[in-house]
Chains A and B, each alone.
Chain A
């Protein structure tokens, strides 16, 4: 178990370089991923082939959009026409979660510059999706959502195009549409899911997302751009977002949770081991000094330990987190500072008091070994085995602390730790079942939680294993 974790900790930085982690908080870095997608393998539960994300690259990239550009002059007026076209095959059993078109455009004069977007279906139907004016110039992208899951405004162009197309094909009529998709105060109560209409079989089932059947086959985008200067140009890319992604799914920003899960392991390990190692070792040495030298030193260390034991570390950390937004190293530092003396100091002291009376210590005194030599060469080696067990058992405590802080949003904001993800999932209501996600966003919660449990159990088992090895009765054999 532990071996697996350590392997993970070693290989993760190689497999998923740190810059992936740096991009974690950059929403722009994750636009090609579906949001809140379940893991790909979860389709075995539904028995359906669930849509993966299809990336349609821009012109110039391999497999990208095809492009024709002509620029010509009529009576002193330059016209530039760009036609972009890309088809793709869609063979999945359910509809994509979202379809987006991203366009870059170079244009001189904004007025009159126009794009017209068409959608061709495997059944030969073509839908004129919308006409628009690009609003930003390259290199920035104009983003058009064809499905607009977050729009409820009935005036959204794609809604009208789809509605008009369905009416033209006699699938529905104005009144039925209005009753199926009622509006109130100028917004849809329950907006039509355009992706089902764009990609469903053209019959009455298409009106209801529950009954619509996927029309498998080749779809294509066709985009016509027209501008008025010789340098005008346009390019496009599109993403047909799936409903499943990767091994661990995605969160509400479309971030690949696998990255966070994998990176969570080394972070948790490093944090837990470093924290436990530092605090337990310091506590051990102080406890040993306290027990061995006795007297004033003992009194001082023990009273300090008593004091430290009643300091509520977590609330203090929460306070510090709120005030200063500590990075992970600072959190570790604060934890270690608040853990220089504590329970381990007391445990070790009592072990030392016992070891102190053993004959071999007396023997060492008798042949003249100095007090510090006895402490470091005789007593500490005797205590160390217990210390190792304690370290192993303390690691989970540190991992839990970090997770708790991150969960409360007080951890290191720049690192996708397991606690951090759980915190995100919690604030986004991941566990509430919705119509789109009848089982809730289980993967968002399950994997980081499993990671924490796995790691803590691994260390607890290690601790118990140490315990067993160190049990004198077992050791004598």
Chain B
């Protein structure tokens, strides 16, 4: 097995905010061989850009935790000091096409000198020569040399994107991070850019980290796919596999949510919202939205209470739920329920147990109940222990408790 050109191990990047730490990158690992492309796919806010930034050490001021290993070309560049990192990694080793290339160009400088700027910064070469190389790089991305004399606002979105790609290639890096390189473009231009990227990959021997939320584009370009959910890689594996037979329920939901032309079936959707990264859910981070969640997925007492309240509010379901006066979390996995005073506690516990047994396939959080015990005035409900699922598998890994159970 060839040595990977980039091996990211247990990368962590937390931001400090007033609401608390944002776990934007929370233990992400993946390896990329020379010439391969990994697509990082995930919802908005899942931490894709943060992952890219932490690989290039582009950190904002409010970094709280930044650790892990980034082995590039056999060296752990996390150990480098800033100057060494700048010299070896930035642009010479790994370059980046930023999200929203429209704004990644300096509006007051001619395109040519911007493309040449990394050359000047790194090699302090003659302006004339830098300009020639810039024109060459523009040629590689299919732009004519006279574009060099224009200002960014004189270019179309697709042209700007090409300029930014030319700029990322100018120092001949091994790895290029493409952060949603086509998201602001129309479909035809998107296709052109993707084709360009494919060609460049072969002629320039590049490895891509291709960040997108568009599964279609990812499947066009990627050898590997990494599915990012709430700051973590929930599934990473070969594109043919992941797209055809996803292991993780989230990946499955993502694939089902892609609209298909002329298909009768309405695209599926994922209920709920992506979790708040300042306080990621315990256990599996996807369990609140997972269609197949079960005992081990990690419901906590406060979440349980929240779900019960939702059922009580809804017109359809309020009659199913046994009458409850109050609920209170005792600790993360234990809650106390005080019934409305009619009948004994034991009777209430009975009603509760049967409700759980009856409806747990529909309201999957009910599966998390381990035991129901009657106390003096209340019923104590114990939930299963919350444990994050490990990444299971070797070349194709996914983190879902189902996989453990199924032994796949």
Give A residues with C-beta under 8 Å from B.
Answer: 358-360, 362-370, 373, 377-378, 381-382, 475-476
Contact = CB atoms under 8 A, between A and B. Distances in A.
A367 B121 contact: yes
B91 interface: yes
Given A366-B56, A367-B117, A368-B122, A359 B95 contact: no
Given A368-B90, A368-B118, A362 B108 contact: no
Nearest to B56: A366
Given A362-B98, A373-B121, 8 more contacts: A359-B99, A363-B104, A364-B106, A364-B117, A366-B56, A367-B95, A368-B118, A382-B106
Contact of B98 (A363, A370, A378, A475): A363
Interface in B75-109: 86-87, 90-91, 95-96, 98-100, 103-109
Given A360-B105, A382-B107, A368 B100 contact: no
A363 B105 CA distance: 8
Contacts of A366: 56, 58, 90-91, 95-96, 98
A368 B153 contact: no
Given A360-B103, A381-B109, A367 B91 contact: yes
Given A359-B103, A381-B109, A476-B153, A368 B121 contact: yes
A382 B108 CA distance: 7
A360 B117 CA distance: 12
Nearest to B86: A368
Contacts of A359: 98-100, 103-104
29 contacts: A359-B103, A359-B104, A360-B106, A360-B107, A362-B98, A363-B98, A363-B167, A364-B117, A365-B58, A366-B56, A366-B58, A366-B91, A366-B95, A367-B91, A367-B95, A367-B117, A367-B118, A367-B167, A368-B87, A368-B118, A368-B122, A369-B117, A369-B121, A373-B121, A377-B109, A378-B109, A381-B109, A382-B106, A475-B153
Interface string B122-133: 100000000000
A384 to B, nearest CB: 8
Interface residues of B, number: 26
Contacts of B105: 360
Nearest to A476: B153
Given A365-B58, A366-B56, A378 B106 contact: yes
The CB with the most chain A CB atoms within 10 A, among B58, B96, B121, B171, is that of B121
Contacts of B95: 366-367
Interface string B170-208: 010000000000000000000000000000000000000
A384 B106 CA distance: 14
Contacts of A368: 86-87, 90-91, 118, 121-122
Closest 4 CB pairs of A and B: A367-B91, A359-B103, A367-B118, A368-B90
Contacts of A382: 106-108
A92 B77 CA distance: 97
A364 B115 CA distance: 11
A358 B90 contact: no
A368 B92 CA distance: 10
The CB with the most chain B CB atoms within 10 A, among A364, A368, A370, A378, is that of A368
A268 B118 CA distance: 46
A353 to B, nearest CB: 12
Contacts of B87: 368
B194 to A, nearest CB: 22
Nearest to A382: B108
Contacts of A377: 109, 117
The CB with the most chain A CB atoms within 10 A, among B104, B153, B164, is that of B104
A196 B171 CA distance: 94
B177 to A, nearest CB: 9
B108 A381 contact: yes
Contacts of A365: 58
Contacts of A373: 121
A476 B105 CA distance: 14
A385 to B, nearest CB: 8
A364 B109 CA distance: 13
Contacts of A476: 153
B169 to A, nearest CB: 12
A370 B104 CA distance: 17
A237 to B, nearest CB: 67
The CB with the most chain B CB atoms within 10 A, among A359, A364, A382, A476, is that of A359
A284 to B, nearest CB: 15
B134 to A, nearest CB: 13
Given A363-B98, A368-B90, A369-B117, A358 B108 contact: no
Interface in B273-329: none
B91 to A, nearest CB: 4
Nearest to B57: A366
B256 to A, nearest CB: 33
Nearest to B95: A367
B80 to A, nearest CB: 13
Contacts of A475: 153
Contacts of A367: 90-91, 95, 117-118, 121-122, 167, 171
A272 B90 CA distance: 47
Contacts of B98: 359, 362-363, 366
A476 B107 CA distance: 10
B58 A362 contact: yes
Contacts of A364: 106, 117
The CB with the most chain A CB atoms within 10 A, among B106, B117, B122, is that of B106
A384 B95 CA distance: 30
Contacts of B104: 359-360, 362-363
Nearest to A295: B61
Interface in B378-401: none
B200 to A, nearest CB: 18
Nearest to B173: A367
A224 B337 CA distance: 134
Contacts of B96: 363, 366
Contacts of B106: 360, 364, 378, 381-382
A363 B58 CA distance: 9
A163 to B, nearest CB: 83
The CB with the most chain B CB atoms within 10 A, among A367, A373, A476, is that of A367
A359 B49 CA distance: 13
Nearest to A472: B107
A295 to B, nearest CB: 10
Nearest to B102: A359
A363 B100 CA distance: 11
A157 B244 CA distance: 125
B57 to A, nearest CB: 9
A365 to B, nearest CB: 6
The CB with the most chain B CB atoms within 10 A, among A360, A362, A476, is that of A360
Contacts of B167: 363, 367
Contacts of B58: 362, 365-366
Interface string B106-148: 1111000000011001100000000000000000000000000
A475 B154 CA distance: 11
Nearest to B99: A359
A185 to B, nearest CB: 80
A358 B103 contact: yes
Nearest to A378: B106
A358 B87 CA distance: 23
A389 to B, nearest CB: 15
A54 to B, nearest CB: 64
